[in-house]
Structure 1
Amino acid sequence: MIRFAIPTLAAAAMASSAQAAEIQIQSPGPVVELTVSEIVRRAPDVAQIGAGVMSRAATAEAAVRMNAEAMDRVVARLRTLGIDRRDIQTSNFNLNPSFNFNRETGEQTFTGYTVNNQVNVKLRDLERTGEVLDALVAAGANNIYGPNFMLEDDVAAKAEARANAFESGRTMAEDYARMAGYTEVRLLEVSESFQRFGPRPEAMVRTASAPSRDAATPIEPGEVSTGVTITVKYEMTR
C-alpha cells in the first residue's frame, strides 16, 4: 500500500493504567506511507504432530475406558522413542453420542458414544519424523495430523526480515521524495506485524499395522518462512 498525505499532524494514542496521553508529530512536508513485507526462509528445526485415538462403544463409560487404554499405549510408545514428557501435550478430548441417520425416514438412531483424544507431539530430531509416524500407527493411533514443520526460535529470522523490510521502506520513500522534488526523508512512524508460513498440516488417517523394518515413511522437511510486514511513514524534506 502506498499513500501520500498533505501536510498534517499525525496523532498516536498511548494508553496507560492511569491515563491516556496523546503525542503529536509535526510534519510540515508531504508524508509518504508505505507497507512493506519481507520473508526469510530457513530449514525447520522442530516438527509438530497431532496423534490421537477415536474409540466407539455402547456406553460412555466403556468408550472412555477403551480410549484411555489405547492412548496409554500411544503415549508409552512415544516415551520409548525418547520423546520427553514436556514435548507431549494433550490438545483435545471430547465425548459425544453417535447416531445413524436414515435419509428416507429422517429418523436418527442412537448407536453409542464416540471418544476422541488427541496429543500434540514436538519432535526435535527431524530425521526421525517418519519413524515416529509409523510407531504411532503401530501403537494404535488412528488419527494423525501433520507433520507441521517450524522454527522453535524464530527471533533471528524475524530480525533479518525486519531489517530488510525497514531498508526497503526507506529506499522506496527516498525514491518517492526525489520524484516529488525533495532530497531527504524523515521517519515519522513505524509499526509491524508478523506472519509464519509453512506446509499446512494435512490429516493422515491410517489403519494400525506393523511398519516396515527396512524403511520409515519418507518425510521431507523443506523450508519454512517467517515474514515481517511494516508500515512506515516518512516526511519529505529538502
Structure 2
Amino acid sequence: MIRYAIPAAVLATALPMTAQAAEIQIAATGPVVELTVMEEVDAAPDMVTVGAGVSSEAPTAVEALRQNSRAMRSVIERIKSLGVAERDIQTSSINLNARYDYDQQRQEQIFRGYQASNRVTIKLRDIDETGEVLDALVVAGATDLNGPRFGLENDESAKAAARRAAIKRAEAQAREYASLAGYSNVRLLEINESMQGRSGPQPIVVTGSRMMASDESAPVEPGTISTGVSITVKYEMTR
C-alpha cells in the first residue's frame, strides 16, 4: 500500500511530494469524508507466459532422472530454435518421487519405480506466436502444458490512467457529500493507494492424452488485461 499525506503548501497542485512531506499530517478544522474508490483500465496484453513440463518413469531414480533430463533438453532446444531468448526461459520445478500402487487384495503399497518431472516457464514477447509455440512444445516432447497467462510488460501507463480516473471520481464524490452537507468546497488531506492487477482468461491446463499434435496451431485469443488502483482518500469539507 502507498500512503500519501498531502502538505498544505501543495494542496492546490497535483501530487508532487518529498520524503519529508510524506510525514506531514494535516489537522482538519471541518468535517472529513473518507472514501474508497477503485478504477480499472483495460489494455491489450503485450506478453504471455506458458508452462511446459516433461514427466518420465523408470525402475530406478537415476534412470528416471536421466531420461527426464534428456527429454527436457530436447524441449528447451526446440524453444530456443523458435527465437525465444535464454532470459525468457526459466526452470520452475524439478521433482523426483517414488511411485507406489495400492494393492487392494494384499492391502499394501506396491513399489512401481520412480517418476521424474521438470517444468519450465516461457515468456513470449510476440503473442501471435503463442499457438505455434504450444504446438512445437508438444511435438518436442512436452507431456503437459499450463497457460497461456497474458500480461503487460510495462503497465505504468495503464496504472497512471486508472489513478487519474480514481482521483477524479473520488473528488467528485467528496464534492457531492460536501454539497449535501451545506459546504461549498473540499480539501484533500490524505491518499492511500493499493494496486490491483487482473490477467485475462484463467489458464488452461492440458495434460497427457488431451495433447495431440495437429496440422493447425492452437487458437489463442489474448483479450484484454485489467489493471487498476484502489485509493482511500480523506477530504475536509470547507466553506
Give the TM-score taking structure 1 as reference length.
Answer: 0.86
Aligned residue pair count: 217
Q: Which moved more, 1:97-106 or 1:64-73?
A: 97-106
**Whole-Å Cα distance in 2 between the matches of residues 211 and 32 of structure 1?**
60
* Aligned equivalents of 1:130, 1:123: Cα separation in 2: 11
Counterpart-to-counterpart distance in 2, 1:107 and 1:182 = 79
Amino acid at match of 1:190: I
Q: 1:81 to 1:23 in 2, by over 3 A?
A: same
Alignment RMSD:
1.9
Alignment partner, residue 30 of structure 2: 29
Q: State the Cα distance separating 1:22 from its structure 2 match.
A: 7.1
Q: Paired residue for 1:230?
A: 231
- Distance of 1:201 and 1:47 partners within structure 2: 11
Asked whether 1:124 is paired with 2:119, we answer: no
Match of 1:75 in 2: 76
Query: 3-state SS of the aligned residue for 1:27?
Result: coil
- Kindly indicate whether residue 97 of structure 2 is the aligned counterpart of residue 96 of structure 1: yes
CA distance in 1, matches of 2:166, 2:117: 44
Residue identity opposite 1:211 in structure 2: S
Cα distance, 1:133 vs structure 2: 0.4
Q: Pick the structure with more strand per residue.
A: 1
* Distance of aligned partners of 1:182 and 1:138 in 2 relative to their CA distance in 1, 3 Å threshold: same
- SS state at 1:26 partner: coil
Task: Provide the rounded CA distance (Å) in 1 between the counterparts of 2:146 and 2:173.
Answer: 43
Paired residue for 1:48?
Answer: 49
1:33 Cα deviation from its structure 2 partner: 0.8
In structure 1, stretches of 5+ residues that fail to align are: 1-15
**1:137 and 1:178, CA in 2 relative to 1: closer, same or farther beyond 3 A?**
same
Any idea what SS the aligned residue of 1:120 has?
strand
When normalised by structure 2's length, the TM-score is 0.85
The residue aligned with 1:145 is 146
- Alignment partners' CA distance in 2, 1:150 and 1:102: 46
1-structure distance, mates of 2:136, 2:107: 42
